[in-house]
Amino acid sequence: MSKYVIIVAGGSGSRFGSALPKQFLPLNGVPVLIRTISRFAEADSSIHVIVVLPNGQIGNWLELCGAQSFFLAHSIVAGGQSRWQSVKNALDSITVSEGDLIAVHDGVRPLVPVSVIAEAFRVAAKNGSAVPCVPVTDTIRQVTDGSSHILPRRSLMAVQTPQVFNAVDLKKAYDAPFNDDFTDDASVMEAAGHKIALTKGDVRNIKITHPDDLKIAEILLKNE
């Protein structure tokens, strides 16, 4: 059985307010994306790492790896105009066999615990899928036609990555045309008729989207 992780790192930095893409920003001195890749190497050195980057950022990434003396093995694939297309490009770049597993992870989730990675692969090997989640702690209201109503918090979960799936099934699911309901890889698999198994996520597995997220990540990293 072969294991893969597709690390999607397609940010431009515009929403973050930085000229440098957020996946390249330093987190306690080490670029975010390098920390993300290193987590998977720490979890299981046999995992094949595929990094998806915008075509115009690949050269910058290679220069950054050289400057950081970062030599962990990984493949690089040019991304598409959407996250869905970027994942599909990565899937099209590999040949898989029955029993293989593929994880898909956000490049800007550099603090994912090794235990979350290991559990997701373990559950996916048994059930064909594994999606880490954490309970929603905020009160959520759904707005419809100008009115709103509360959603029962006990029935809601916040989804994280890595999401891990049977590799053959995931590649077949991504052969379907894109639609707006594909908000993550689990939604692509559900549309293809597959059930989704949930695993325990971790509140430290934050996604760095805004500048304050980077500050929070710095604090969390120091406390590990």
pLDDT of residue 92: 97
Both tokens assigned to 149: 């109503």
Confidence of residue 224 (pLDDT cuts 50, 70, 90): confident
pLDDT at 160: 98
| pTM assigned to the model | 0.94
Close Cβ partners of 103 (under 8 Å, ≥ 6 residues apart): 3, 4, 5, 6, 40, 47, 117, 120, 121, 124, 161, 162, 163, 164, 165
What is the rounded CA–CA span in Å between residue 142 and residue 60? 42
> How many C-beta atoms surround the C-beta of residue 204 within 10 A?
17
Cβ neighbour number for residue 187 with a 10 Å cutoff: 17
Q: pLDDT value at position 16?
A: 57
Q: What percent of the chain has pLDDT over 90?
A: 93
CATH of domain 3-222: 3.90.550.10
Domain residue ranges in the chain = 3-222
